[in-house]
Chains A and B, each alone.
Chain A
Amino acid sequence: MSDTQTFLDTLATRSQQRAGEPTWIAARRQAGAARFDAMGFPTRRDEEWKYTDVRAIAKGNFALADNAEFSQAQAAAITLPLDAYRLTFVDGVFSAALSNVDALPDSVQVMPLSKALTDNHEAVGGPLGRLTGVDFSTFAALNTAFMEEGAVVRIAPGTVVEKPILLQFLSRAGTPVMSHPRILVEAAGRSEATLIEHYVGEADAANFTNVVAELMLDRGAILNHYKLQEAPIGDLHVASIHVEQNRDSRYTSYNLNLGGALVRNDLISDLNGQGAETNFYGLFFGQGRQHVDNHTKVNHNAPLTFSNENYKGILDDRAHGVFNGKVYVKRDSQKIEGFQSNQNLLLSDRAQIDAKPELEIYADDVKCSHGTTTGQLDEDAIYALRTRGIDEATARGLLTLAFAGEVLEKVALDAIAERVELAVAGKLPERFNLAGLVEAAAALND
């Protein structure tokens, strides 16, 4: 049996059009399935997947979850303690009990995709799949084939959404399951919002999440998008995020990856109108045999557009990181600025990073720069810390935390910054462990 057949067999167990769903959804799903079957899973012979082996996914056999049971107490222990509009999905299944979008103003819609497909399908039919078509990748096609749940966020013109919109995806231990969440955000002109995707779960989980997010920013819209990926260490995680930016819009991505056995993020911004700005901040920390692949692309499709990217990787043990950052400047997109930086810290001799910055420029009046560095910790700083009585292992831990700090200080939400700082401190090798220190210092601020 081919690798795709296992997935298609599982798909065949699902009805192609559920009660209340529009007729077009069945055709979309079928198109996704056909494209998925035709493309098959990528191999390392594919340039885009040269450093990432997806056999753990392709050879897997994943069921679909049929319930969203998860205790309140357990959810409270692992989710972000934020005052937010919250949608929760458990192994991809929407949990009304763990969600709360009461008190949403009329100018903002936040609803599960399943509800949008039945209650409001005229509104989502057009935008769904407009940015991420089935041709984008095998995983996008697969997601489309299984498209039934996720989140739809629509923000009316000029609306400033005061509280963050939090989409949390919980992964349970047990029989491996897969989920294909679909996120659709339409931010109308001059609206302003913060969107958080949070992936977290039970320690022994080994599930496959394949998410597609399509984010549309109209004129002057501002969207701050946090992705906090703390999936269980056995989880497989693939994400395709497409951002479309109209004139004067500003998108900022905080792509924070700490969990997962195999992680692949594709993040793409299309800057289609003058004055549009995109910021990509990324942090990934791999240990054990974790594999974390970030592919980013900024398309400067219009003149006077701006991009700024800073990705930092920390790799320990036999972890493998991949950074591939492309900046593309369309013909005659003049006066654009595109800056990119990628720095990686290797804590072990066997950790590995494949870093590939790429510039593709078809205009002559542009300011672009990129740089990537990979190295170890600063020995002068280690000496300075040791002269204060701090042992070498702790000094190295402090400096590792500091390396991550440069990205974390961009994180405006303290609850997330502190959580990541604590996670990085706690994930350091045991002898570097600074979790207690971070907690104590955070407590001192209160």
Chain B
Amino acid sequence: MLQVNDLHVTVEGKEILKGLTLTINAGEVHAIMGPNGAGKSTLSAVIAGKDGYEVTQGSITFEGQDVLEMEIEERAQAGLLLGFQYPVEIPGVKNIYLLKSALNAQRVARGEGEMPAPEFMKLVKEKLGFMKMDASFLQRAVNEGFSGGEKKRNEILQMLVLQPKLAMLDEIDSGLDIDAMKVVADGVNSLRAEERAILLVTHYQRLLDYIVPDKVHVLVDGRIVKTGDAELAKELEANGYEGIEESVA
């Protein structure tokens, strides 16, 4: 589904990713772990298309398409969706507008018609219920004045409504208490499907107790230095990244 090959990325002249290679297949849940500054967030930002990241070498393909040639919105319409570590507050833009415009943009891009209003409302209400969110929330501005936990729930809600093919979640667990983390994890787990893949970027193993990955990659200094199964995350929790970094050096 997603192939990242020998990716080199510089930000403001500094090389952050130094030859990262990663393959994600449909049906898989991957976790990328690593110390601060290793380049975890850079990877998801480059895949989503954020400005300011220069790809100097390598490629990213998604279902055979060259991601780096696609507009930001085309990536999302194709099914590549990023859940932000720090969701942006958008004063005045109601959640309902965001959800409806986003869903319809995706449907129109796929050649489907816009979803009829009653069907849309039914879908949104069901997903709101799943995320334990109140319907009044739809009339609130996107993330404005939301607590950290509400912002993260909102990211997952968008995923549940938009049903991406590849959901990338950047530090989705940061700032969550244990109850909120369970709700968020339930939301992510409900996305697990044969035709879908999930990429978790996280600093802590804690999240992976709730969302058990098929593969764990350790990202250190711009490269994936080790890949294993869920057990690898537990080793990291016990021994830290230092052991890994030493073994690489």
Which residues 157-174 of A sit at the B interface, judged by CB distance below 8 A? none
B101 vs chain A, min Cβ distance (A): 5
Contact between B73 and A402, CB atoms less than 8 A apart? no
How many of chain A's residues touch chain B, expressed as a range?
20 to 34
Q: For the complex, give the distance between the alpha carbons of A398 and B162 in Å.
A: 19
**Which of B73, B92, B121 contacts A391, CB < 8 Å?**
B73
Cβ B92 vs Cβ A401 within 8 A: yes
* CB interface residues, B 133-178, toward A, < 8 Å: 138-139, 141-142, 158, 162
- Check A389/B73 contact, CB under 8 A, given A381-B88, A394-B105: yes
Residues of A within 8 A of B100 (CB): 437, 440-441
A127 on interface, CB distance cutoff 8 Å: no
A405 to B139, CA, bound (A): 12
Within the assembled complex, what's the spacing in Å between the Cα atoms of A197 and B84?
46
Residue of A388, A404, A443 with most chain B CB atoms under a 10 A cut-off: A388
Residue interface mask A394-423, B partner, CB < 8 A = 1: 100011011111100000000000000000
Of A380, A389, A401, which contacts B93 at CB under 8 A?
A401
Of chain B, the residue at the smallest CB distance from A402 is: B92
Q: Which residues of B contact A391 (CB under 8 A)?
A: 73, 105
Contact flags B197-208 to A (C-beta < 8 A → 1, else 0): 000000000000
When C-beta atoms are compared, the residue in chain A nearest to B84 turns out to be A384
Are A406 and B91 within 8 A (Cβ)? yes
Query: By the criterion CB–CB under 8 Å, are B76 and A388 in contact?
Result: yes
Q: Which residue of A is nearest B83, CB measured? A: A387
Residue A364 CB within 8 A of the other chain: no
Whole-angstrom distance between the alpha carbons of A378 and B93 in the complex? 12
User: Which of A381, A392, A434 is in CB contact (< 8 Å) with B90?
Assistant: A381
Contacts A390-B101, A443-B117, A444-B117; is A399 near B90 (CB within 8 Å)?
yes
Is B48 a contact of A389 with CB atoms below 8 Å? no
- Nearest to B118 among chain A residues (CB) is A444
Contacts of A398 in B (CB 8 A): 93, 97-98, 101
Docked-complex contact B88 and A380, CB < 8 angstroms: yes
A390 to B90, Cβ gap below 8 A? Answer: no
Cβ 8 A contact of B162, one of A388, A399, A402:
A388
Name B92's contact: one of A387, A403, A437, A443 (CB within 8 Å). A403
A383 lies within 8 A of B50 (CB): yes
**Alpha-carbon distance A445/B105, docked complex (angstroms):** 22
Name the contact of A390 in the complex, choosing from B51, B73, B87, B141 (C-beta under 8 A): B73
Complex interface: chain B residues within 8 A of A388 (CB): 73, 76, 81, 98, 101-102, 105, 158, 162
A-B pairs with beta carbons under 8 Å apart, 26 shown = A383-B88, A384-B90, A384-B142, A385-B90, A386-B71, A386-B76, A387-B48, A387-B75, A388-B162, A389-B81, A389-B109, A390-B101, A392-B73, A394-B105, A398-B93, A401-B92, A402-B92, A405-B93, A406-B91, A437-B97, A443-B117, A444-B117, A444-B120, A444-B121, A444-B138, A445-B139
Given contacts A388-B76, A389-B81, A444-B96, 19 further A-B contacts (CB under 8 A): A385-B90, A387-B72, A388-B98, A389-B73, A389-B77, A389-B102, A389-B109, A390-B105, A391-B73, A398-B97, A399-B90, A399-B93, A402-B93, A403-B92, A405-B141, A406-B91, A440-B100, A440-B117, A443-B117
Which residues of B pack against A, CB within 8 Å?
Answer: 48-51, 71-73, 75-77, 81-82, 84, 87-88, 90-94, 96-98, 100-102, 105-106, 109, 117, 120-121, 138-139, 141-142, 158, 162
> When A and B form their complex, which 7 residue pairs have the shortest distance between CB atoms, in order from nearest?
A402-B92, A389-B76, A405-B92, A388-B102, A384-B88, A386-B72, A389-B105
